[in-house]
Amino acid sequence: SHIKDVQFVKSSARARDCPKDNRPEFAVLGRSNVGKSSLINSLVRKKEIALTSKKPGKTQLINHFLVNKSCFAKAPEAAKTDWSSFTKGYFLNKSTLVAVLLLIDASVPPQKIDLDCANWLGRNNIPITFVFTKCDKMKVAKGKRPDENIRDFQELIRQNYKQHPPWIMTSSATGMGRDELLLHMSQLRNY
Ligand code: GDP
Protein backbone atom coordinates (compact mmCIF):
# COMPACT_ATOMS: atom_id res chain seq x y z
CA SER A 1 0.00 0.00 0.00
CA HIS A 2 2.90 2.33 -0.65
CA ILE A 3 2.15 5.34 -2.77
CA LYS A 4 5.12 6.18 -4.90
CA ASP A 5 3.73 8.30 -7.61
CA VAL A 6 0.70 10.48 -8.21
CA GLN A 7 -0.29 12.32 -11.30
CA PHE A 8 -3.36 14.26 -12.22
CA VAL A 9 -4.63 12.88 -15.51
CA LYS A 10 -7.62 14.89 -16.62
CA SER A 11 -11.09 16.24 -15.92
CA SER A 12 -13.89 14.86 -18.04
CA ALA A 13 -17.38 16.21 -18.51
CA ARG A 14 -18.64 13.25 -20.50
CA ALA A 15 -18.16 9.52 -20.05
CA ARG A 16 -16.61 9.21 -23.48
CA ASP A 17 -13.93 11.74 -22.57
CA CYS A 18 -12.73 9.70 -19.60
CA PRO A 19 -9.33 8.01 -19.89
CA LYS A 20 -9.58 4.71 -21.69
CA ASP A 21 -7.32 2.12 -20.22
CA ASN A 22 -7.59 -1.08 -18.29
CA ARG A 23 -6.16 0.05 -15.01
CA PRO A 24 -8.06 -0.84 -11.88
CA GLU A 25 -10.01 2.15 -10.70
CA PHE A 26 -11.34 3.43 -7.40
CA ALA A 27 -14.05 6.06 -7.48
CA VAL A 28 -14.29 8.62 -4.69
CA LEU A 29 -17.91 9.65 -4.44
CA GLY A 30 -19.80 11.91 -2.09
CA ARG A 31 -21.69 15.11 -1.76
CA SER A 32 -20.18 18.55 -1.88
CA ASN A 33 -17.92 19.36 1.10
CA VAL A 34 -17.93 15.83 2.44
CA GLY A 35 -14.13 15.81 2.17
CA LYS A 36 -13.31 14.15 -1.18
CA SER A 37 -10.40 16.41 -2.07
CA SER A 38 -9.05 16.33 1.47
CA LEU A 39 -9.14 12.53 1.54
CA ILE A 40 -7.37 12.16 -1.79
CA ASN A 41 -4.75 14.72 -0.77
CA SER A 42 -4.25 12.89 2.53
CA LEU A 43 -4.02 9.44 0.89
CA VAL A 44 -1.40 10.56 -1.59
CA ARG A 45 0.23 12.93 0.92
CA LYS A 46 0.27 15.76 -1.53
CA LYS A 47 -1.23 19.12 -0.86
CA GLU A 48 -3.76 20.19 -3.40
CA ILE A 49 -3.46 17.52 -6.05
CA ALA A 50 -7.22 17.23 -5.81
CA LEU A 51 -8.31 20.84 -5.96
CA THR A 52 -11.95 21.47 -5.40
CA SER A 53 -14.15 23.91 -7.10
CA LYS A 54 -16.23 25.72 -4.54
CA LYS A 55 -18.57 27.13 -7.15
CA PRO A 56 -21.95 25.46 -6.94
CA GLY A 57 -23.66 24.55 -10.18
CA LYS A 58 -20.40 24.07 -11.98
CA THR A 59 -20.25 21.53 -14.78
CA GLN A 60 -19.97 18.07 -13.33
CA LEU A 61 -16.57 16.62 -13.93
CA ILE A 62 -14.91 13.33 -13.23
CA ASN A 63 -11.30 13.96 -12.30
CA HIS A 64 -8.84 11.15 -12.89
CA PHE A 65 -5.61 10.58 -11.04
CA LEU A 66 -3.03 7.92 -11.54
CA VAL A 67 -1.71 6.47 -8.28
CA ASN A 68 1.07 3.97 -8.81
CA LYS A 69 -0.62 1.74 -11.34
CA SER A 70 -4.17 2.30 -10.16
CA CYS A 71 -6.53 4.88 -11.37
CA PHE A 72 -8.43 7.16 -9.01
CA ALA A 73 -11.56 8.90 -10.11
CA LYS A 74 -12.99 11.76 -8.13
CA ALA A 75 -16.54 11.52 -9.30
CA PRO A 76 -18.93 14.41 -9.65
CA GLU A 77 -20.88 15.45 -6.63
CA ALA A 78 -23.84 13.28 -5.93
CA ALA A 79 -26.13 16.11 -6.95
CA LYS A 80 -28.66 17.69 -4.65
CA THR A 81 -31.81 15.86 -5.62
CA ASP A 82 -30.78 13.03 -7.89
CA TRP A 83 -27.45 12.36 -9.37
CA SER A 84 -26.81 12.68 -13.04
CA SER A 85 -27.24 9.89 -15.54
CA PHE A 86 -23.63 10.61 -16.43
CA THR A 87 -22.48 9.50 -12.99
CA LYS A 88 -24.81 6.53 -12.83
CA GLY A 89 -23.90 5.42 -16.33
CA TYR A 90 -20.26 5.77 -15.45
CA PHE A 91 -20.52 3.27 -12.61
CA LEU A 92 -22.73 0.83 -14.47
CA ASN A 93 -20.39 0.54 -17.45
CA LYS A 94 -17.07 0.44 -15.70
CA SER A 95 -15.60 -3.06 -15.84
CA THR A 96 -12.31 -1.84 -14.36
CA LEU A 97 -14.00 -0.38 -11.26
CA VAL A 98 -12.60 -2.05 -8.15
CA ALA A 99 -14.88 -0.23 -5.74
CA VAL A 100 -16.68 2.99 -5.02
CA LEU A 101 -15.46 4.73 -1.90
CA LEU A 102 -18.63 6.45 -0.74
CA LEU A 103 -17.69 9.30 1.58
CA ILE A 104 -20.10 10.08 4.40
CA ASP A 105 -19.68 12.98 6.82
CA ALA A 106 -19.68 11.45 10.30
CA SER A 107 -20.20 14.82 11.95
CA VAL A 108 -23.80 15.06 10.79
CA PRO A 109 -26.80 12.71 11.12
CA PRO A 110 -27.54 10.34 8.21
CA GLN A 111 -28.44 12.34 5.09
CA LYS A 112 -31.10 11.12 2.67
CA ILE A 113 -28.87 11.72 -0.35
CA ASP A 114 -26.15 9.47 1.08
CA LEU A 115 -28.63 6.73 1.93
CA ASP A 116 -30.17 6.97 -1.57
CA CYS A 117 -26.75 6.80 -3.11
CA ALA A 118 -25.67 3.80 -1.02
CA ASN A 119 -28.92 2.00 -1.80
CA TRP A 120 -28.63 2.66 -5.53
CA LEU A 121 -25.08 1.30 -5.60
CA GLY A 122 -26.21 -1.73 -3.58
CA ARG A 123 -29.16 -2.44 -5.87
CA ASN A 124 -26.81 -2.35 -8.84
CA ASN A 125 -24.29 -4.65 -7.18
CA ILE A 126 -21.52 -2.09 -7.37
CA PRO A 127 -18.88 -2.84 -4.75
CA ILE A 128 -18.84 -0.13 -2.14
CA THR A 129 -16.84 0.85 0.91
CA PHE A 130 -18.24 3.42 3.33
CA VAL A 131 -15.56 5.94 4.21
CA PHE A 132 -16.75 8.06 7.11
CA THR A 133 -15.03 11.45 7.06
CA LYS A 134 -14.42 14.14 9.68
CA CYS A 135 -14.31 11.60 12.52
CA ASP A 136 -12.04 14.01 14.40
CA LYS A 137 -14.99 16.34 14.98
CA MET A 138 -15.88 15.13 18.43
CA LYS A 139 -17.62 18.28 19.57
CA VAL A 140 -20.67 18.81 17.48
CA ALA A 141 -23.00 21.47 18.80
CA LYS A 142 -26.25 19.88 19.96
CA GLY A 143 -25.70 16.95 17.61
CA LYS A 144 -24.53 13.43 18.16
CA ARG A 145 -20.94 12.24 18.15
CA PRO A 146 -19.45 10.79 14.95
CA ASP A 147 -19.61 7.21 16.26
CA GLU A 148 -23.32 7.69 17.04
CA ASN A 149 -24.03 9.15 13.59
CA ILE A 150 -22.15 6.23 12.03
CA ARG A 151 -24.20 3.73 14.03
CA ASP A 152 -27.44 5.42 12.93
CA PHE A 153 -26.30 5.36 9.29
CA GLN A 154 -25.33 1.67 9.44
CA GLU A 155 -28.68 0.83 11.00
CA LEU A 156 -30.56 2.52 8.15
CA ILE A 157 -28.43 0.76 5.54
CA ARG A 158 -28.61 -2.69 7.11
CA GLN A 159 -32.06 -3.49 5.74
CA ASN A 160 -30.95 -2.97 2.16
CA TYR A 161 -27.81 -5.07 2.09
CA LYS A 162 -27.55 -8.83 2.50
CA GLN A 163 -23.95 -8.28 3.51
CA HIS A 164 -23.00 -5.04 5.13
CA PRO A 165 -20.38 -3.21 3.05
CA PRO A 166 -16.96 -2.66 4.59
CA TRP A 167 -16.56 0.67 6.35
CA ILE A 168 -13.72 2.75 7.70
CA MET A 169 -13.57 5.77 9.99
CA THR A 170 -11.24 8.48 8.74
CA SER A 171 -10.09 12.01 9.35
CA SER A 172 -8.06 13.95 6.85
CA ALA A 173 -7.25 16.36 9.65
CA THR A 174 -5.54 13.79 11.89
CA GLY A 175 -4.68 11.02 9.42
CA MET A 176 -6.99 8.61 11.24
CA GLY A 177 -7.91 5.62 9.05
CA ARG A 178 -5.42 6.46 6.31
CA ASP A 179 -3.31 3.31 6.62
CA GLU A 180 -6.35 1.14 7.14
CA LEU A 181 -7.98 2.52 4.00
CA LEU A 182 -4.84 2.07 1.89
CA LEU A 183 -4.48 -1.52 3.11
CA HIS A 184 -8.15 -2.18 2.41
CA MET A 185 -7.78 -0.80 -1.11
CA SER A 186 -4.75 -2.93 -1.87
CA GLN A 187 -6.61 -6.01 -0.63
CA LEU A 188 -9.58 -5.22 -2.85
CA ARG A 189 -7.26 -4.75 -5.84
CA ASN A 190 -5.56 -8.07 -5.36
CA TYR A 191 -8.71 -9.99 -4.70
P1 GDP B 1 -15.13 18.04 -1.24
O2 GDP B 1 -16.01 19.15 -1.73
O3 GDP B 1 -15.89 16.78 -1.02
O4 GDP B 1 -13.89 17.80 -2.09
O5 GDP B 1 -14.63 18.49 0.24
P6 GDP B 1 -13.24 19.16 0.69
O7 GDP B 1 -12.14 18.15 0.74
O8 GDP B 1 -13.01 20.39 -0.13
O9 GDP B 1 -13.58 19.53 2.23
C10 GDP B 1 -14.64 20.41 2.56
C11 GDP B 1 -14.36 21.07 3.90
O12 GDP B 1 -14.31 20.10 4.95
C13 GDP B 1 -13.01 21.78 3.95
O14 GDP B 1 -13.17 22.96 4.69
C15 GDP B 1 -12.11 20.78 4.67
O16 GDP B 1 -11.04 21.42 5.36
C17 GDP B 1 -13.07 20.13 5.64
N18 GDP B 1 -12.66 18.76 5.95
C19 GDP B 1 -12.43 17.76 5.05
N20 GDP B 1 -12.06 16.63 5.66
C21 GDP B 1 -12.04 16.90 7.00
C22 GDP B 1 -11.74 16.11 8.18
O23 GDP B 1 -11.40 14.93 8.13
N24 GDP B 1 -11.88 16.76 9.38
C25 GDP B 1 -12.27 18.06 9.49
N26 GDP B 1 -12.38 18.57 10.71
N27 GDP B 1 -12.55 18.81 8.41
C28 GDP B 1 -12.45 18.25 7.17
The protein residue with its alpha carbon nearest to ligand 1, atom 18, reads 35
Whether 85 is in a domain gets the answer yes
82-129: pLDDT as tens digits: 566 667 777 887 888 899 999 999 999 999 889 988 988 888 899 999
Q: Is 38 in the pocket of ligand 1 (CB under 6 A)?
A: yes
Phi, psi (degrees; rounded to nearest 5) at 26: -110, 135
In a domain, 67, yes or no: yes
Residue 110, ligand 1, Cβ within 6 A: no
| CATH code where residue 120 lies | 3.40.50.300
1 falls within a domain: no
User: Would 65 be classed as within a structural domain?
Assistant: yes
Residue 179 inside a domain? The answer is yes
pLDDT band at 4 (very low <50, low <70, confident <90, very high): low
Distance CA(149)–CA(180), nearest Å, equals 20
Confidence of residue 76 (pLDDT cuts 50, 70, 90): low
Residue 162 maps to a domain: yes
Q: Is 176 in the pocket of ligand 1 (CB under 6 A)?
A: no
ipTM of the complex: 0.98
Q: Give 156's contacts (C-beta < 8 A, 6+ positions apart).
A: 110, 115
Mean pLDDT of 154-164: 89
Residue 126 counted as domain residue: yes
DSSP 8-class letter at 60: P
Q: What are phi and psi of 106, to 5 degrees?
A: -80, -5
Least confident range from 2-6, 47-51, 86-90: namely 47-51
The total of structural domains in the chain comes to: 1
- Is the pLDDT reported for residue 81 higher than 50? no
Residue of the CA atom closest to atom 27 of ligand 1:
134
Residue with the larger pLDDT of the pair 76 and 99: 99
For residue 37, how far is its CA from the centre of ligand 1 (angstroms)? Answer: 7
pLDDT value at residue 58: 47
CB 169 within 8 A of CB 107: no
Binding site membership of 36 for ligand 1 (Cβ less than 6 Å): yes
Cβ 74 under 6 angstroms from ligand 1: no
Task: Quick: pLDDT tens for 36-47.
Answer: 888 888 887 765
**CA-based nearest residue to 63, from 85, 93, 41, 92:** 41
| The ligand 1 atom nearest the CA atom of 41 | 7
The residue-averaged pLDDT of 49-63 equals 53
Give just the sign of the alpha carbon dihedral 86, 127, 147, 162.
positive
User: How far apart are the CA of 130 and the centre of ligand 1, in A?
Assistant: 16
Verify whether ligand 1 is closer than 6 Å to residue 171 (CB atom): yes
* Residue 79 domain flag: yes
Q: Closest Cα to atom 24, ligand 1: which residue?
A: 134
Q: Which residue range(s) make up the domain with 136?
A: 6-189
Q: Whose CA is nearest to atom 6 of ligand 1?
A: 35
pLDDT score at 162: 83
